Amino acid sequence: MLRFLLVLPLLAALGACAPFHRPLAAADRGKVQEVDVRVVVAQESFMFSAQPPGVSAALGGGLVGALIDSSVQQSRQKAMSAEVQAIVGPLLDCDYRVEAGQALSAALAEPAAFPLKVRSTRVLAAMPTKAEQEARIAATQGGPAYLVLLVQYALEPGLGAFTTRTSALLWQDGRAEPSYRAAAIFQTPIGGSARAAVLRRLTANDGQVLRGVMRESMTQTLHAVALDMAGARSTGVKTARFNVNGSWVTLAGQSFDAQPGRVLFRDEDGALYSVRSAAP
């Protein structure tokens, strides 16, 4: 049975990872000898967003505007359901978990790719049970640290961009509270205007383009989290174009890395962004 999720709120599009940032303290960083990495991808297919009408905001808020927004939103969601069913089918052959696993293996094969010694990596379809999670955290007492990356991936409306939003949490020393927390957002524009043409390009040659974007998202997310855990300092303000529900907006933040064709920065809440430096 084909399953897909529809994301409604505008804020959820930018903030699926609620803004939270707890840097890894120097003392904690020094204690970490090894780390087990678990990437959790709970989705079975793509998430899509239906662009909200924004009537309530235009009317200055209030119940009437909210009701209009709700009515229009429901109509758009029904129309979008048919689109999603037509779109998702050709994309199902591209498994994000598989591509993420390959990207992890490739990244961790490079000694300089991660600031910590990684003992093991796994890609999971769900978080461990509460008992398993508590036992795993307790095992960090005298054992390897435990890093979990909770990943959500989506295609923006109109297939204008591919986005992942990740919550990163690190446990160590048997403590129930994570010693490191961060939200990491990756996005790359897909390009093109005609939906059918974009879909053909994404799925051509056994989905080569889409698979490459998936792997890049995992590589970039791991890179951003690694730099943040290592205490990378800000080097100045950077701006980038970002697709929110099919519309391009400009975001700004403190840069913490320089890469050709890509901007990495922290926003005022400490969220980590990896965004293409040029977008339509």
54-66 pLDDT, tens digit each:
433 433 444 443 4
CA quadruple 107, 109, 115, 117: dihedral sign: positive
The pLDDT score that the predictor gives to residue 83 is 56
The domain over range 5-49+85-231 is classified in CATH as 1.25.40: no
How many Cβ atoms are within 10 Å of 61's Cβ, its own excluded? 10
Please answer whether residues 187 and 162 qualify as being in contact, where contact means their C-beta atoms are separated by less than 8 angstroms.
yes
Q: Which two tokens stand for residue 245?
A: 């529900």
C-alpha to C-alpha distance for 221 and 17, rounded to whole angstroms: 13
The pLDDT score that the predictor gives to residue 149 is 95
The pLDDT score that the predictor gives to residue 172 is 95
The segments of the chain whose pLDDT lies below 70 read 1-19, 47-90, 92, 111, 113, 115, 192-193, 278-280
The pLDDT score that the predictor gives to residue 132 is 93
| CB-based burial, 145-182: b 16+ in 10 Å, e otherwise | bbbbbbbbbbbbbbbbbbbbbbbbbbbbeeeeebbbbb
The pLDDT score that the predictor gives to residue 43 is 84
Identify the CA nearest to 187 among candidates 148, 152, 236.
Answer: 152
The pLDDT score that the predictor gives to residue 192 is 64
Domain residues of the chain, as ranges?
Answer: 5-49+85-231
Please answer whether residues 126 and 40 qualify as being in contact, where contact means their C-beta atoms are separated by less than 8 angstroms.
yes
The pLDDT score that the predictor gives to residue 12 is 39
How many Cβ atoms are within 10 Å of 1's Cβ, its own excluded? 3
